[in-house]
Amino acid sequence: MSVVDDVKTVVSLVQKMDNAALYTQILELQTKVQGLYMENMDLRKALSEKEQRLKLEDDVYFEHGAYWRNSNNDGPYCVPCWDDKRKLMRLTPTSFGGVSCNICHYMCDE
């Protein structure tokens, strides 16, 4: 049972006490708890995304004019896309040799 559910239970118990001032106070408290709960969820999500981003940054390394991922030996990835926007864009083989990015058209021999 979450804190929001706990407060909901208390609100319904206070409602039965027939005390308007107490009921008003508990409703305000309920609103504040719900706000804190939502803020907590948003912060947890932001922290998780940040941790994923840091994990990815630790995993990426530069070699032979492109970026690669250490954990799965995957690559090559585009240098400008990673440097500018922190996006891992795969470099694909061109018809005239080398590899290029389909987004920014960065090329390298790989």
The pattern of x and - marking residues 35 through 54 that bind Zn ion according to CB under 5 A reads --------------------
- Asked whether position 104 contacts Zn ion by CB under 5 A, the answer is yes
* Candidate segments 11-19, 33-41, 56-64, 93-101, binder of Zn ion by CB under 5 A: 93-101
Q: How far is CA 72 from CA 17, 69, 75, 95, in A?
A: 62, 6, 9, 26
* Candidate segments 35-43, 45-53, 61-69, 97-105, binder of Zn ion by CB under 5 A: 97-105
Cα–Cα distance for residue pair 93/101, rounded to 1 Å: 9
DSSP state of 96: T
